[in-house]
Structure 1
């Protein structure tokens, strides 16, 4: 009889525990906004652009799927009021990340990523996309934010052309960044050649690094720069400010970071979002710094190869063109099954990073060149969830 009573106690205890877990999950699911529609994912639908008759808006709706620094989507668009096949791209000064990007270099690279996606979408729809950079003149570097607001980065004009196969088109609907571990498979000579030939201009080069000496050095610099950045409170706070902890925030802002950025999906997503909503300190201060270092170390230790985009000049047009090449690399990589993740901390130009940045730049960009992008590439073990995107009409202003 005692054995039966003990078994009943254990069974009741397990049942109570199971009920408590279910109740806790439901509570976290509700707190995380799990019942809400994910409006921020609508632009990822291939049917999304069909809502618009204007070809400029349709192509721009694909352009916003491109990667951008901190997923800030720093784009403002204006339709040409006279030419129905032209529109303008401006850098949005309200979407700067001035702590990690005080020279606004990443901001300008993000303009280029958008432009390349628009070009690929144009091929699919039968348009030749002609891009003129800084059509109304260069920025006044002494009054940069005002220049961003008043001078377009590019004038985009569509001309009717024969519809092409557009082999990179489907790759636009895949997540541009994958922070998950990659398989330890070497890139083939064909894959390396495909990536390194992404630039068709002599002043911008793409180089793949996979040899042990370079690989070890780059890995060490990536980790050292992450530790450095984690120790700069104002930089970490800037990142924390644009973190969206739950579905309510993601639907409201539709840009910045979220738990999906670290690959969280499935049942773990509402659990983690609910916890972060209830206890924001889990993603701030020392905890955020430690998580950031751990994540970067995991990425660096799962990097079959690194890739750099290096330029001879560092003017704004070159930065934009580097972004276009980066998008081309991302899309080309997707067609070969490769994923990519920028590891840009060592390239950031705030004072605390200066020594490491200068040392790294001197090694890999001699003769006053500039490393515009550093990222890892390889075959991902898992696919990443899609990230937030704003509604296309939020980008257009008069």
Structure 2
């Protein structure tokens, strides 16, 4: 979600030139942070298929890459999914709408993996009551239960072609080519995320609304950067350098030489938000604006309602949309800033809803994303199956 605060300082190039060990280092992420992206071994006879399913589900997209998924495997044939209340985003996502969508992306990949094993995943949402981030779970539970999933053998289920895209799907924040998504790709995305009470919207090249999409995206992005508490929330989950990335395997990874050097020298201060005119902000704004101007298309999902179950289902639909886009060589990059519900974003929240014919009782925009062709990028770190299994 394009929250990588690279601190740029004058003379940085000279500092780097004087540090050969860092200028020659690789920006590739450490192998242990990406180990989960290797397909799991086949399930042995008599083995527990649930861990095989989870090895796919944990590759789902998640807001800020926080991976708030906890699972309880104590009941044979079931997977209980919980939302880790220590991995919420109270500043940028005060109502946890994005977190609930991220729970939905997990459930959809779990469903696709279950089909691959001849299983039907029967999902019961909120078995302990509707999720409320302001209210702690009732004892004896320490986290909010999102779903109870029963795995039922069913000879009638068939694998879904989208399953093949799970290990290829990556959120791509780079610059996109200025060419329109192919019509068959658009049609496939629409078909993949069709659901009751949900509609999709595209702003494709030639669409008169494209300038408005771009303007809202630019303005909302800058608001998040210059609002200290929202910027600090991103800085809190920033992982700089291979040691931090390997230790956490979550959050927003930065492994380029310059920020690594600045962090090592104590010049990359993540405890204080930069000022609106600091180079750390102005450079990011320029970089982001250039990418937005070159973005050929935008994708959005609007739901009629906005209850918790709808948010989870919207997450499932987005997971399918992104997998379908991946199958056609397209990339997606969520632009959630304007959809966030804190006061400073209110004008942009209203603007994107009005642009998409939502708001004011006409529905809620659950997802808004850049869409286009781009050079492939690598995966984001994952914590591995065992990190999500409750004792």
Q: 1:71: which partner in 2?
A: 65
Q: 1:56: which partner in 2?
A: 50
1:153 aligned onto 2:146:
yes
Deviation at residue 242 of structure 1 after TM alignment:
0.8
Equivalent residue of 2:47, what SS? coil
State the distance in 2 between where 1:303 and 1:106 align: 23
Equivalent residue of 1:152, what SS? strand
- Structure with the higher fraction of residues in helix conformation: 1
Q: 1:197: which partner in 2?
A: 191
The C-alpha deviation readout for 1:9-42, integer Å capped at 9, x for no partner, is xxxxxxxxxxx98983325667x998x9521111
- Candidates 85, 98, 103, aligned match of 2:90: 98
Deviation at residue 303 of structure 1 after TM alignment:
1.6
1:277 aligned onto 2:230:
no
Q: 2:350: which partner in 1?
A: 358
Match runs of 1:138-217 below 5 Å: 138-140=130-132, 143=135, 149-162=142-155, 164-210=158-204, 211-217=206-212
Q: 1:234: which partner in 2?
A: 229
Match runs of 1:326-345 below 5 Å: 326-345=318-337
The C-alpha deviation readout for 1:299-342, integer Å capped at 9, x for no partner, is 31222111111011111110000000000011001101111000
Q: 2:296: which partner in 1?
A: 304
1:43 aligned onto 2:36:
yes
State the distance in 2 between where 1:97 and 1:241 align: 11
Q: 2:370: which partner in 1?
A: 376
In structure 2, relative to structure 1, the CA distance for the partners of 1:366 and 1:349 (3 Å cut) is: closer
Q: 2:214: which partner in 1?
A: 219
- Candidates 117, 130, 149, aligned match of 2:122: 130
Equivalent residue of 1:213, what SS? coil
Deviation at residue 190 of structure 1 after TM alignment:
1.8
| TM-score, normalising length: structure 2 | 0.85
Does the 8 A contact of 1:100 with 1:235 survive in 2?
A: yes
1:256 aligned onto 2:256:
no
| TM-score, normalising length: structure 1 | 0.84
The C-alpha deviation readout for 1:240-273, integer Å capped at 9, x for no partner, is 111111111011111100126xxxxxxxx44553
Deviation at residue 57 of structure 1 after TM alignment:
1.6
Deviation at residue 354 of structure 1 after TM alignment:
1.1
1:385 aligned onto 2:378:
yes
Match runs of 1:311-322 below 5 Å: 311-322=303-314
Does the 8 A contact of 2:177 with 2:294 survive in 1?
A: yes
- Candidates 329, 333, 347, aligned match of 2:339: 347
State the distance in 2 between where 1:324 and 1:89 align: 14
The C-alpha deviation readout for 1:31-65, integer Å capped at 9, x for no partner, is x998x952111100013676993211211111111
Indicate the RMSD between aligned Cα atoms, in angstroms: 2.8
1:246 aligned onto 2:241:
yes
State the distance in 1 between where 2:129 and 2:117 align: 30
State the distance in 2 between where 1:297 and 1:215 align: 14
Equivalent residue of 1:230, what SS? helix
Structure 1: 5+ residue runs without aligned partners?
1-19, 261-268
State the distance in 2 between where 1:277 and 1:341 align: 30
Count of residue correspondences = 366
Q: 1:117: which partner in 2?
A: 109
In structure 2, relative to structure 1, the CA distance for the partners of 1:223 and 1:55 (3 Å cut) is: same
State the distance in 1 between where 2:200 and 2:282 align: 32
The C-alpha deviation readout for 1:79-134, integer Å capped at 9, x for no partner, is 1x34x110111111100111110111111010001111111112222222221211
Does the 8 A contact of 1:90 with 1:154 survive in 2?
A: yes
Structure with bigger gyration radius:
1
Does the 8 A contact of 2:84 with 2:144 survive in 1?
A: no
The C-alpha deviation readout for 1:124-167, integer Å capped at 9, x for no partner, is 22222221211232235752666994441111111223474432
Structure 2: 5+ residue runs without aligned partners?
1-14
